[in-house]
Structure 1
């Protein structure tokens, strides 16, 4: 299967319009294109993806989903990857967990034999689009994409449908001490609180301020005002202002080009001069890039 799997276009691209339901007794031997089929497999033959970005599942919400499944069935099939034994979930772990809770013996699935990076991308897309990840889980997922598959923040933004700035702001949360990351994951504080805490830079001051926010029930606005007061009193160094915004301008242009051409772009400038580099990893990507640039091959 090629790379053109509809990533970045939402989960709808994963489900074929002409899907066919196959009885469960035939789920082990199929002589048709399984990527256009919805069929039933035994629930215990399906296992979660160990790299699933979402780590916590609300039991009450799972029970509510289980009740809905008991009443109406699973309305949207799971997307799974075939393994030597059984299947690994690409999208739909909540449905699978809820099905297990109510003792459902079979679940509907669509099979997608995808490379590891696309499995992780789809798992992130599903959770981010449905707002199922907490901020730390989301940041860890982005970090995994960068470290495991050498993606830039701009490339992640293209796949997820968010700006490079939004990706960068989320990744900054991983600079928080572990205790504050846990408080954020447990929703004791919000991302807004966390961004205010990051200004303190010193881990000990961060932890003390996070405790103060929780104890006093501070709003984000109150936390920000508290930081400003500490800065005015000289207790916290004010953020250094850049002499110009050229780096921000270059970053915005780079992000816009990466979105337009759907490939990695490097911009560098020295004074009034600079260069733009387009990066491709295959001849197919080069052909697509040349087409978007308006280049026509000579016969």
Structure 2
């Protein structure tokens, strides 16, 4: 399978699967050829015959959001159908995308829910679930990072494949996956929303990271303050004359991670300097051969 074919398949989310039926529904309603407002291929399925996917990327659901959705469904019904696949010889269905809507519909005391049924493999089911949740920002940072790791480790996708499928940069994928190297306690803080991904990356390399995490939460520190804390600096240092915010001492964790990401691709030292009015990327080479290699990569779009 070519990279383009793999990326196209990986990026096939619920919206793509629904696209054709939604267009058909619009055309039918215009011509009056159908008596239903539902897109073709969508059927009403008993809620009792539907079961959640045990590999669902999203492990936690916000109670307030679920309650609000249930209230909306009780008033207006389920606006967008869920996506399911047949299991147990077609006698039951497993959710591919839309578990929150299914749970909210149960709370709203619905007996049936509109669903689009598709024959999908385990691999396609997991991929669609991950891509859909990431694109809708339904995952916390740890769930998002675990989803990327699943796509890469279980199915052999590269970071470039995943980045294209979820419309993120490769550096974003790499930065998120680094969160999985953190101690379990810090990962729990991030998953629960007590720490942001930026906070976690700021203290990732500190020897007393978990202790710092507790202090950051207790004091309500910003990411920049967390970075200074991790360096053992108790107060902001004054900038010397002519010193830009892009100097090494002022770089945040994301900038340093991006430098490392680019450097690993080029095999050369990289320095990113960013200020209020823009910035620059410096690539340090020692030989003309190294310079030629960088120029070739830029020309071929392989950097």
Judge same fold: TM > 0.5, yes or no.
yes
Deviation at 1:107, TM superposition (A): 0.5
What is the deviation of 1:11? 3.4
> Given the alignment of the two structures, is residue 63 of structure 1 paired with residue 67 of structure 2, yes or no?
yes
Give secondary structure in 1 for the equivalent of 2:58: coil
Matches within 5 A, 1:124-273: 124-200=130-206, 202=207, 205-230=208-233, 247-249=264-266
Distance 1:221-1:92 versus aligned 2 partners, 3 A rule? same
Offset from partner CA, 1:176-235 (integer Å, 9 cap, x none)? 1101111111111111100101131x3xx011100110111111111112223459xxxx
Residue 129 to residue 178, structure 1, CA distance change in 2 (3 Å): same
Report the Cα offset of residue 250 of structure 1: 6.7
Q: Aligned to 2:84, what secondary structure does the other structure show?
A: strand
Unaligned runs of 5+ in 2: 26-38, 235-248, 269-288, 294-303
8 Å Cα contact 2:143-2:191 kept in structure 1: yes
2:104 aligned with 1:98, yes or no?
yes
The answer to whether the 8 Å contact 1:16/1:36 transfers is no
CA RMSD between the two structures: 3.2
- Counting matched residue pairs gives 232
Judged with a 3 Å threshold, the aligned counterparts in structure 2 of structure 1 residues 199 and 44 are, in CA distance, closer, same or farther, namely same
Q: Which residue of the other structure, out of 88, 92, 96, is the alignment partner of 1:86?
A: 92
CA offsets 1:20-68 (integer angstroms, 9 cap, x no match)? 89xxxxxxxxxxxxx9500001001111111111000111211110010
- Helix, strand or coil for the counterpart of 1:247? helix
Matched, 1:76 2:80: yes
Q: 1:83 to 1:162 in 2, by over 3 A?
A: same
Structure 1 residues 3 and 109, CA gap change in structure 2 (3 angstroms)? farther
- CA shift digits 1:259-287 (9 cap, x unpaired): xxxxxxxxxxxx6698xxxxxxxxxxxxx
Quickly say closer, same or farther: Cα 1:198–1:106, change in 2 above 3 A.
same
Q: Is the 8 A contact 1:121 1:159 kept in 2?
A: no
Of 42, 48, 71, the match for 1:44: 48
TM-score, normalising length from structure 1? 0.69
Distance 1:56 1:188, change over 3 A: same
Checking the alignment, whether the CA contact within 8 Å between 2:212 and 2:230 is kept in structure 1 is: no
Q: What CA deviation, in whole Å up to 9, does each residue of 1:81-121 have, x standing for no partner?
A: 11123111111011001011122110000011122222112
Aligned to 2:29: none
Structure 2 length normalisation: TM-score? 0.68
